[in-house]
Amino acid sequence: MSIVIILKTLGLFIITAIAEIVGCYLPYLWLKKDHSAWLLIPAALSLALFAWLLTLHPAESGRVYAAYGGVYVLTALVWLRVIDNSPLTIFDLTGATLVLSGMVIIAFGWK
């Protein structure tokens, strides 16, 4: 697998994760933080984008979902730190390392 394919796939995974997190975060703001219900419209669009982005990956859907999970965890932890302003713990970092290792193993099995 070439480095270009790896970087493109990783970038696509990150964009996919951001679309999923935004699609879930906006309803959270409405339900828990008393923001406008109008947030549900961009939330639905973001989740539709997330689903479409998953179709652009170069492997069977089950492998894509499994590998994507590792990048999702890392992206969610970055979101936790940057958006929620919460410090990361050694447990967060250790867990991210483990799931990213699994993602790399799965992704290197792609044809």
Give the tens place of pLDDT for each residue, 28-70: 999 999 999 999 999 999 999 999 998 887 777 778 888 888 8
Domain that holds residue 103: 3-108
DSSP letters along 14-50, please?
HHHHHHHHHHHHHHHHHHHH---GGGHHHHHHHHHHH
- pLDDT for residue 71 is more than 80: yes
Whether this prediction's pTM lies above 0.85 is answered by: yes
User: What domain count does the chain have?
Assistant: 1
